[in-house]
Amino acid sequence: MKTALLLPSRYKKIGILMLIPSLILGVLVRFNDFSFDFLTLTTGHSYVKSTPLNFDEVINFTDEMALTGIIVALLFIAFAREKQEDEFISKLRLESLQWAVLINYILLLIATWLIHGFSYIDVMVYNMLTVLIFFILRFHVLLFRNRSSITD
Amino acid sequence: MKNNIKIERARHNMTQQDLASRIGVSRQTINAMESNKYVPSTVLALKIAALFKLTVEEIFLLEEND
């Protein structure tokens, strides 16, 4: 069966290989203020237009690189075709996506009411990735369950 | 909906994998249909019927609550 918008199945492996270093970099950036010096850019003017200060602004792109790596890797894993992607697998895929979006927003609503102030920024940071993560986990749990229930 | 896939498969002495390869789906799909967890598309139902040389109605049967 033809399924639109899916990548060849090898992208799952590529995604996993990309995710590991990106995730390590992301954790280092987030918790250790780590940055690569070669990714530092000094602009002659203020990068952010609304900043009234008139001095050379220094921006480091390590966090941008980590987040890009994580998102691209998760997209690769999420949208890699299964080795045998047929109509039943497509159904599992769609159901998992629906489940992931629902769970994601339920958790976001709970967090909105329970977490306040600056900590809420953490919620937003993780929420950028959770839809994809929940989807990948749910889809693979369903695939695994169906594989292990095979009786012949 | 009920189906007789498992019976027909046994009659033709086929494993789930054999049937899956013949009609171009994964083994999970055959398993899910046999355990009534998945209702196949019309295309797949027709392929299964054609393989067993039966009509779709002889393999797939409606139930009361359908």
pLDDT average, residue stretch A92-108: 97
Chain B residues with beta carbon closer than 8 angstroms to that of A89: 26, 28-29
Chain B residues with beta carbon closer than 8 angstroms to that of A84: 25-26
Q: Does pTM top 0.80 for this prediction?
A: yes
Nearest to A1 by CA among A116, A75, A81, A72: A81
Instruction: Give pLDDT tens digits for A21-36.
Output: 999 999 999 898 888 8
Distances (CA, A) of A94 to A14, A70, A136, B6, B63: 22, 22, 11, 27, 26
What was the pLDDT predicted at A46? 56
Mean pLDDT of chain A: 89
Whether residue A79 contacts residue A6, with contact meaning beta carbons closer than 8 Å, is answered with: yes
Instruction: Give pLDDT tens digits for A48-95.
Output: 565 555 556 778 889 999 999 999 999 999 999 998 899 999 999 999
Whether ipTM exceeds 0.85: yes
Q: For residue B29, give the nearest of A88, A149, A151 by CB distance.
A: A88
Q: Quick one: tokens of A66?
A: 């980590």
| Res A1 pLDDT > 60 | no
* Shortest CA gap B12–chain A (Å): 14
Chain B residues with beta carbon closer than 8 angstroms to that of A141: none
Chain A residues with beta carbon closer than 8 angstroms to that of B25: 84, 86-88
Whether residue B38 contacts residue A91, with contact meaning beta carbons closer than 8 Å, is answered with: yes
CA atoms within a 13 Å half-sphere pointing along the CA-CB vector of B56? 11
Q: Quick one: tokens of A25?
A: 């970099």
What was the pLDDT predicted at A130? 96
Nearest to A92 by CA among A29, A131, A27, A143: A143
Q: Where are the domains of chain A?
A: 1-83, 86-152
* Shortest CA gap B65–chain A (Å): 22
Q: Which domains does chain B have, with CATH numbers?
A: 2-55 (1.10.260.40)
Pairing of strands B2-3, B60-61: antiparallel
* Shortest CA gap B28–chain A (Å): 6
Whether residue A80 contacts residue A6, with contact meaning beta carbons closer than 8 Å, is answered with: yes
Instruction: Give pLDDT tens digits for B3-61.
Output: 999 999 999 999 999 999 999 999 999 999 999 999 999 999 999 999 999 999 999 99
The helix (H) or strand (E) run that includes residue A75 is helix A62-78
What was the pLDDT predicted at A102? 98
